[in-house]
Chains A and B, each alone.
Chain A
Amino acid sequence: MTTAHELAAQVRSGQISASEALEHSFAAIDARDHELHAFLYLDHDGARKAAKAVDAVVAAGGDPGPLAGVPIGIKDNLAMRGVPTTCGSKILDGWKPPYTATVVERLVAAGAVPVGKTNLDEFAMGSSTENSAFGPSRNPHDVTKVPGGSSGGSAVAVAAGFVPVALGSDTGGSIRQPAAFCGLVGYKPSYGHVSRYGLVAFSSSLDQVGPFTTTVADAALVTQVIGGHDPADSTSMPDAYEDLVAACGRGVKGLKVGLCRDLLDGADAEIVERVRLAASVLEAAGAEIVDLAIPELRLGLSAYYLIAPAEASSNLARYDGVRFGLRVEREDVAAMNVATRTAGFGPEVKRRIMLGTYALSAGYYDAYYGQAQKTRRLITNALDAAYTKVDVLLGATTPTTAFGFGDKVADPMSMYLSDLFTIPTNLAGHGAMSVPFGNSAAGMPIGVQILSPGRRDDRLFQVGAVLEAGVAK
């Protein structure tokens, strides 16, 4: 399919109108989304209006921006004024925010056309989209398999060719894992690179918005549009970033790449093999490969599954039936809160709220939350130490390729374990990227993961672009 770079160039030069590009998108969605369920909502009217506005700018000889006319899928945990925003939850069914997320505003200002809201695990809690209250999405490569999660709908929308770009959010791997499962580039920016204003919070100190694209260069282009300082987000980094689009062409000559044992052990043999092949592609392009171990990364899972639920338990308190969303009426407010939350949240959300409430509660704080925050420091220190020896780390994105529906539902711990390789990046607040690197024997996509030190995301694009070119050969 046409990349965002190509499509924007065509729209800006008048080769195709934004409205035509949009109708192609809608047609593709109409043809196959009943089967895949990438979208929870299509904003036909809003998208057509946005496309027309782009066309008007082109007609007037102006420049609608670097994403001119590019149809984009928006994960349904990003607020869009007047457009239903459900977070995949019954508790927000029908809620139309009175404001728009910064990232969506920036996309539109750059000429992009948001086509609708994509499916996700409820409140972004999950690794398969099976936790969506509105039914799961399906992997376009094999509809009996999950697309991954939590940003599964966004991954499916791009992988199925509905849109060249979709936004996701990544708290513990929710962009990279579905990107790997669906054969896409998935990028989780360094914490603070992309504004969280308007992203419905799951775990505030871990959440970060990022793109799904078919090419590394597109990921750079989209991130340059949505990224950068936002005064509405206190955790948004005030200083500027390296040019990511330029980094895509820089090559990897002289770059030290750490092939990390703790991002490989436990992965399927064919995934390990592909990661080793990726290392050899980088070596051939002039990088130096260093084998190393960072055993502390293994502790990430426990730290993550205490910190994220703790923050979530507090972030999700506001769904109380008072101001917006579902209310199950009872005579007194406390009983109404209980009835509303009990009916409105699905089992995984309840599980994590309970876990987080427990981890923060009197008497357990030090043993769980406090200890998890110290472990977070331990892991970050270990990564910092590794980055004194290498410039980037290389490993697998996921231990397996896309699994089947229902495979991990009964045992939450087995589902959580599939996030083992992606979690450390979120804990440290660093950037990481999953790049598609061939398929398994069964024909399912395999992703290779690149990790970089905090705020040196440019290196991900250097490496990613070389891998992308290498796998094509």
Chain B
Amino acid sequence: MSMAGYETIIGLEVHCELKTATKLFCGCRNQFGDEPNTNVCPVCVGLPGSLPVLNEKAVEFAIRIGLALECEVKWSNFHRKNYFYPDMPKDFQISQYDLPLNEHGRIELPDGSVVGITRAHMEEDTGKSTHLGGSGRIHGADASLIDYNRSGVPLVEIVSEPDMRSGVQARAYVAELRAILVAVGATDGRMEEGSMRVDANVSVRKPGDPFGKRCEIKNLNSLRSLQRAIEYEALRQVDCIEAGERIVQETRHWDEAAGRTGSMRSKEEANDYRYFPEPDLVPLAPSVEWIAEIRRGLPALPKARRQALVQLLGSDDQATLDLVATVVDRDLDALVVEATAAGAPAQLALTRAANELNAEGVLPSAASFAATCQLEASGALSATQAKTVLAALIEEPDADPKDLAAKLGFEQLSDDTLSTAVAEVIQANDDEWTRFAGGDDKLAQFFIGKVMAATKGKANGKAVISLLNERRAAAAS
């Protein structure tokens, strides 16, 4: 199996659940994890006679998303997408069709590549089925149970252009998209809970050829699965072509355990959704003023935040860019900026934030974080000690880093105590000292280790080295 001579073409459809208090077309709570069929009403169970009314907040979120993706926000309407399925109570989905709310946007990924956004439209979610018997999967089950709590939850479906060329890039796109959606407050972005769901359209071709037949892969519920599934599928398609077979346009299911995609159904039951304008809803025509107001309320987006950090650091080498991406992705950039303003060296604050802090947990205040970085930079704390202090700060965010260092026994040894310790170590290791004094630098580490042991780890490595060098220079003269 090899991709030699082929390129992969990827377009993604991402469904994102909006974080509204209520559903898209009714006042039922939009809440994950409640008792089945308790957040339901005539509208979201599709009872005869019920009618939808559009949730203003959902529209606002959808516009925020559109603006963040640099889309045109437009006059739009809702259509019915007709097909029978038991978790869809009206047997049609209210969605947007030829006149979506947001069109023609773009996302610039951290590596500088750009992915076009075809559209970002509003639609309603379906209920959720649990399958009885078999493996809990739909295939092999004898019966299914349906909970309509999720039915009618607002979704925005973001459709990309087929602009991606690798699983890695697709993964970066979804990561960046998720960061944007979370930043604008539209969603919590939890892929495992299904609040973000990704379908991938994958095809392969020889560069320069027209697009090949594509397959749509469903059930990609983590970034890792997304990348693996695309890479698997591309290889599968190349193998097919190399074996002289034709690619059948179809929907495929990603089997995470087996690490492969499988055909879901034959396309002979071609879908005819009979879209037509939803007569129970009126068009959505957001005013210029409303759009402008929403635009003013948008927070800084990940790309702008990364740029701000790079500027602060004054460096854009790859290692720095990777750290910057991590810090922004974890929402730690504000802390780095503030700590730098409070006197911490920017590069050190960036590195420590990226490697030692976790936005999910408690964060130190900018002042304590800055103070810790400064202690390390001045040599008052070793790198290891500084990391330990940061970990302790997470436990006790209000504590003073100096006090914590003291409590941890990291207080600076007096100069006298340290030079006495160094002298004693030199005396006790005569042979090694002779070789070090003779220019064998490798032995510096040996002496640092001995001094550390003698001082129970309190010595500052840099200070030990400078003492050793002083004594060597004195011995030579």
Contact = CB atoms under 8 A, between A and B. Distances in A.
A and B touch in their complex, CB below 8 angstroms:
yes
Interface stretch (B81-89, B302-310, B356-364, B454-462): B81-89
Contacts of B92: 314, 317
A79 B92 CA distance: 21
Q: How large is the interface on A (under 10, 10 to 19, 20 to 34, 35 or more residues)?
A: 35 or more
Contact of A234 (B46, B51, B80, B84): B51
Contacts of B41: 99
A317 B52 contact: no
B49 A232 contact: no
A333 interface: yes
A361 B273 CA distance: 8
Interface string A301-327: 000000000110110011010111000
B48 interface: yes
Given A314-B276, A361-B272, A362-B272, A234 B47 contact: no
A232 B53 contact: yes
Contacts of A233: 51, 53
B259 interface: no
Given A234-B54, A334-B84, A323 B45 contact: yes
Contact of B49 (A79, A320, A337): A79
A23 B225 CA distance: 70
A317 B276 CA distance: 14
Interface residues of B, number: 30
Nearest to A324: B47
B122 to A, nearest CB: 14
Given A234-B281, A317-B82, A97 B49 contact: yes
A362 B45 CA distance: 28
Given A205-B279, A314-B92, A362-B272, A197 B50 contact: yes
Report which residue of B45, B50, B89, B282 has the largest number of chain A beta carbons within 10 angstroms of its beta carbon: B50
B63 to A, nearest CB: 19
B57 to A, nearest CB: 16
Contacts of A361: 272, 274
A132 interface: no
B282 A369 contact: no
Nearest to B53: A234
Contacts, number: 102
The secondary structure that dominates the B interface is: loop
Contacts of B144: 333
A196 interface: yes
Report which residue of A199, A201, A322 has the largest number of chain B beta carbons within 10 angstroms of its beta carbon: A322
Interface string A94-109: 0101110100000000
Contacts of B46: 318, 323
Nearest to A333: B86
A320 to B, nearest CB: 6
B268 to A, nearest CB: 14
B89 A318 contact: yes
Contacts of A310: 276
Given A79-B48, A318-B46, A369 B91 contact: no
Interface of A: 77-79, 85, 87, 92, 95, 97-99, 101, 196-201, 203-205, 231-235, 310-311, 313-314, 317-318, 320, 322-324, 333-334, 337, 357, 360-362, 365, 369
25 contacts: A79-B42, A197-B49, A197-B51, A201-B48, A203-B279, A232-B51, A234-B51, A234-B282, A314-B80, A314-B274, A314-B276, A317-B84, A317-B90, A318-B48, A318-B90, A318-B91, A320-B91, A322-B86, A322-B89, A323-B47, A324-B48, A334-B84, A360-B274, A361-B272, A365-B274
Given A97-B47, A101-B49, A361-B274, 17 more contacts: A85-B48, A92-B48, A99-B42, A199-B49, A200-B49, A234-B51, A234-B281, A234-B282, A314-B80, A317-B84, A317-B90, A317-B91, A318-B89, A324-B47, A333-B86, A362-B272, A365-B274
